[in-house]
Chains A and B, each alone.
Chain A
Amino acid sequence: MSQPIRVVLVDDHRMFRSGVRSELAEEAADGIEIVGEAPDVETAVSVIKAEQPDVVLLDVHLPGGLGHGGVDVLRGCVAQESQRGEPIRFLALSVSDAAEDVIAVIRAGARGYVTKTINSTDLATAIRRVAEGDAVFSPRLAGFVLDAFGAAAGEIAEVDEELDRLSAREREVMRLIARGYQYKEVAKELFISIKTVETHVSSVLRKLQLSSRHELTTWAMGRKLI
């Protein structure tokens, strides 16, 4: 990529923001540039509108807004575009492993979710991947997905397009990600290309966002989204 990926960092902990900034500077001097920071919902929305970044690193829990944290930022930035004219991609960062928090930001439009304990190399990879429009799943998010879609209990979609269940292949991919496999390892294990893995993950993300499965809607209800 010729131009650097422009990133806005939204987190209410200043120490965490400076930590991420210096880590990314060390790890990935080329290709990723932090163009703005924001500590709360209102600042985040205005900074994002002014900077038009490619990727927003978004904390799930934020002060301000309507009290829904990251979800409010996602709603405030609907239909915003980056300077390149592509939709702004959001990557959720959280210390919370609570299912309702994670599902809520994903359903509000985030392209992925990573925990704050992620190391800087993986974070840089995740940012690049999200910037290209792919989805980023942590093992834990994959576990949630398998649980929520009943895939762990053996429910499999008969047609790939079915929104409320995972296809057999998607389930395999999710299982491997839950087992801690990187995308390239998943590809090797299943004898498919990395691009195909990314397609499957994106399709799971779409289902996660659009499905009306009971488990997902109750999780979202927990954050008063509906």
Chain B
Amino acid sequence: MPTPYTRTEAPPAAPGARPRLERPLAGRWLGGVCVGIAEHLGMPVKGIRWAFVILVVLGGGLPAYLFLWAVTPESRTVTALDPASGAPAPVVGRALAGLQRSRQGALVATGVLVAAVGALIALQAVGLDVRASLLVPLLLVAAGAVVVWSDLDAAGRARALDGAGSGQRGIVWLRIGLGVTLAIIGLTVIATRGSSPSVVVDSLLASLAVLLGLIIIAAPWALRLWTNARQEQEAAARANERADIAAHLHDSVLQTLALIQRRASDPAAVTTLARSQERELRSWLYGASVGHDETLAAAIASVSHEVEDLTSVPVELVVTGDRPMEEHGVALARALREALLNATRHGQPPVTAYVEIGPGGVEAFVRDRGTGFDLDAVPEDRLGVRQSILGRMERHGGSARVRRREDGTEVELTLPALEGAHA
């Protein structure tokens, strides 16, 4: 039985504290009962196993094992310590190894069961009355129950491992069918002990008919139960989703609104807050910037957002086309950043940027409405325009041009097509 006072979620127990009674996935032979008890009591697994074998031989061991197996919860935390290595091996791998061993164990157990039945029949034939006529069918019923229940166990485990090793539907039905058949045969044999074969067949049919009737009567009720459960699950999922949305809005929009109220006297700050929040919400709603910085368009968008955040000046960015990111693209994004920073610092809003990514190359335009500046008047030692924009673009096979217009400045950046791309 699980002890209530050890219901903590820390499996590697501190010295003195007793680990919760669970059936771990790792190190099990059959249902993991012996390993669980050994871990719970802090005793060697081998001793517990021998004790159970002796109990089974003496009688009473099998029901005890089955009872413990049925009532002990399977370990949900698959991180139980492996006594052999001690080191935390990959969890799923180890659990699967445990399952492998448990499958071998099941084979051994089946063999033992068959041998026991054989031995009983032999003893009966020799003349010793071991009441085989009662024991054999009881064993059959037990085997059927184990086969069906072990499937429940497997289903729970599959959920715990998140699909790893989840049983196929066909096998599930095969197991249930096999188990039920075994149990029916066992029960029929018990009920018709010492009767003639025709009575056996009759009662078998009768029990089948009763079973069928039960199924028919219970079906609608079971179906409704199942539908209700599913509806509840769906409702829970919807509620979760709503909670997620609420949490997101709380963390983002509500916080920003609070900030905006507090900084209402600072229009620049309010605009920046509103714009960055708008951007964040937009990308959340439309899932736009998922592949962050992986493509040129995404990199350009993030550069423009960065400039907006740095300078509190809105940038109207339009990008058409896209291409994968590479070193020339990085250079373009950096040069564009510099151009945008210049535009926001020295020019007047609105600042617009248009980037056309086509098969013939990339063209980028940054435009502001300021008074503009004369490139020739910029001192040689000013790195900004010369190095960050012009030099950088030329090093990457592109070009840069600064045009002064009567109502602003326009910086034009170009990159050639990607090598290997069809031009």
- B299 adjacent to chain A (CB < 8 Å): no
Name the distance in Å between B313's Cβ and chain A's nearest Cβ.
13
| Segment 166-204 of A: residues with Cβ below 8 Å from B | 175, 178-181, 185
| Segment 326-384 of B: residues with Cβ below 8 Å from A | 350, 352, 354, 356-360, 365, 367
Question: When A139-B354, A143-B318 are in contact, do A153 and B282 touch as well, CB less than 8 Å?
Answer: no
Interface contact A147-B359, CB-CB below 8 Å:
no
Question: When A97-B282, A98-B286, A153-B321 are in contact, do A143 and B360 touch as well, CB less than 8 Å?
Answer: no
A153 to B320, CA, bound (A): 9
Q: How many CB-defined contacts (below 8 Å) exist between A and B?
A: 48
- B257 adjacent to chain A (CB < 8 Å): no
Partner pick for B367 among A142, A152, A180, CB 8 A cutoff: A180
Partner pick for A152 among B286, B352, B356, B407, CB 8 A cutoff: B356
**What are the residues of chain B within 8 A of A179 when measuring CB–CB?**
352, 354, 365, 367, 410
**What are the residues of chain A within 8 A of B316 when measuring CB–CB?**
139-140, 180
| Segment 294-326 of B: residues with Cβ below 8 Å from A | 314, 316, 318-321
Name the distance in Å between A121's Cβ and chain B's nearest Cβ.
12
A141 to B16, CA, bound (A): 70
B314, B318, B356, B357 — most chain A CB neighbours (10 Å): B318
Name the distance in Å between A94's Cβ and chain B's nearest Cβ.
12
**What are the residues of chain A within 8 A of B314 when measuring CB–CB?**
117
Interface contact B357-A175, CB-CB below 8 Å:
no
Name the distance in Å between B286's Cβ and chain A's nearest Cβ.
6
Name the distance in Å between B91's Cβ and chain A's nearest Cβ.
42
B residues lining the A interface (CB < 8 Å): 278, 282, 286, 314, 316, 318-321, 350, 352, 354, 356-360, 365, 367, 407, 410
The 10 closest A-B pairs by CB, nearest first: A180-B352, A143-B318, A152-B320, A179-B354, A178-B354, A147-B320, A179-B365, A146-B320, A178-B318, A152-B321
**19 A/B residue pairs, CB under 8 Å, sorted by A:** A97-B282, A139-B352, A143-B319, A143-B320, A146-B356, A152-B320, A152-B357, A152-B358, A153-B321, A153-B358, A153-B359, A154-B358, A154-B359, A175-B354, A178-B318, A179-B352, A180-B352, A180-B367, A181-B367
